[in-house]
Chains A and B, each alone.
Chain A
């Protein structure tokens, strides 16, 4: 590949500030605002740099208002950046060239792209015309997507009558019909129940395997990030506080381990009264106790547990990666 195209997405020194003005409610506030407005500059993104190679899938995490959605919207061309340089597949997104728009796709979990008064099938027909997808390609893609997401039964039902999970599946189909090279997923599993979340995740993984688009994913659910992303970017107050491999960060920041203890048959100890120096109970389920312990104190904690409890079985495991990221975000807050 030519060197300038080696990076599909190239962002340098990207900054986005926007102004909001404070307005007091009521007629008085409106009148005040006519004459004197108090402007507040909000920095959504602060000189960030990002490079993404073809086929990468990047997870973007951060607290509410940290700048995740702003970044996604700038990359897709909805928002103008205040300063800095953005290139996606060689295009400047905010110029919004048709050729660029044809190769990208954005899914926002909180904002429907489909037309509520139409059945999904009609929506897809419309998208076929919009993206000028050839008949045979359209048929093949649609059949494949409908099959993978198992929604063939509800294709003729108005979108508004679908369940949230079904609707999200339809949104995914709508976003992928034209085989975009770059897919932005902003909170794709928000509000879905566990089964639907898993179905969406499995589908995204499978799709990525087969088509290898760039995917940029923001989510509140660490499970999404853990399952889908290979690379992690943590945003805090408009700055990237971490950008790197998901596994590396997990290893580096595994500060705690988990000890699962099965109590012996005759154990009659009230775990609530247990006072342990090195570990704390985070979960209890009948005979099963789960302790969280500092990674450096595992031996000491185990000794203590064996001394105080009648143990029939014990297992030490790594802390869940999702929790690791969550801790990391908390610490940087």
Chain B
């Protein structure tokens, strides 16, 4: 089990050694998100003359858009097509020899990246709370539960992403598939608009998909909109989703490895 830990620490160090623009970069993302949301929603609230939309006040919406990039980062981790690149460039060769699981290694690497994201989130939110009344809505308890739930969402997204990336064994280039996954999960997972604003029929259809458990559920917990039984149910349903997707990814990976070594290196 020690290698587990070693890889984790190594990856954490790597993330910390990133250049300063990597960290600033994320700041630009958050500010843009808040800026656009502020103007878009204030224009809607103004023209409609309402105080809440789908049960969310202007303040809550603003907090939603300020926090959701952090949640997305925790859940998606570094989906930078590193796995497919390893397959194309042959970096995967060493895992055929090493006595460690390929998927586990990749998962630990990304978990480390996400863990660093928690630090980033704490610092970022502390800073943002000077401008946006985050503290009025957030309790420490909710914060901890949110981060914990992100762990489950992380697994869900990891296996979805992993399934697509290892298609690189068969296709010339799969980054476009990865980008499609980003678009779809961002929109239907609540990364672009709170899912509560979707028309009712859409929402009920979505509840039969894994998407709402990616970003929307953690956000609801963060804002204190989910009660205990909902959270509990969320964990169960997400886990049920993870199982078949993970099983699928192992199936694909096995076929892929077989095909890969069969062709010869």
Contacts and interface: CB of A to CB of B under 8 A. Distances in A.
A188 B17 CA distance: 39
**Which 9 residue pairs are nearest across A and B when measured between Cβ atoms?**
A26-B17, A30-B20, A30-B19, A27-B17, A27-B16, A27-B20, A31-B20, A25-B17, A27-B18
A34 interface: yes
Among A25, A30, A31, which residue has the most Cβ atoms of chain B within 10 A? A30
Contacts of B18: 27
Interface in A21-44: 25-27, 30-31, 34
Interface of B: 16-20
Interface of A: 25-27, 30-31, 34
B15 to A, nearest CB: 10
A303 B70 CA distance: 88
Contacts of A26: 16-17
Contacts of B16: 26-27
A31 B16 CA distance: 13
For chain B, what secondary structure do more than half of its interface residues adopt (helix, strand, loop), or is it mixed?
loop
A21 to B, nearest CB: 15
A34 B24 CA distance: 14
Contacts of B20: 27, 30-31, 34
A30 B19 CA distance: 7
Nearest to B20: A30
Nearest to A26: B17
A82 B16 CA distance: 39
B25 to A, nearest CB: 14
A31 B20 CA distance: 8
A34 B21 CA distance: 12
B113 to A, nearest CB: 16
Given A26-B16, A27-B20, 4 more contacts: A26-B17, A27-B19, A30-B19, A30-B20
Contacts of A25: 17
B248 to A, nearest CB: 35
A34 B23 CA distance: 15
Nearest to B17: A26
A298 to B, nearest CB: 58
A24 to B, nearest CB: 11
A30 B24 CA distance: 13
A104 B17 CA distance: 44
6 contacts: A26-B17, A27-B19, A27-B20, A30-B19, A31-B20, A34-B20
A69 to B, nearest CB: 28
A34 B20 CA distance: 10
A75 B60 CA distance: 64
A27 B21 CA distance: 10
A222 B19 CA distance: 43
Nearest to B16: A27
A30 B20 CA distance: 7
A125 to B, nearest CB: 27
A26 B20 CA distance: 9
Nearest to B23: A27
A82 B18 CA distance: 34
Contacts of A27: 16-20
Contacts of B17: 25-27
A158 to B, nearest CB: 16
A26 B18 CA distance: 7
Nearest to A31: B20
B148 to A, nearest CB: 28
Contacts of A30: 19-20
Nearest to A34: B20
A48 B19 CA distance: 40
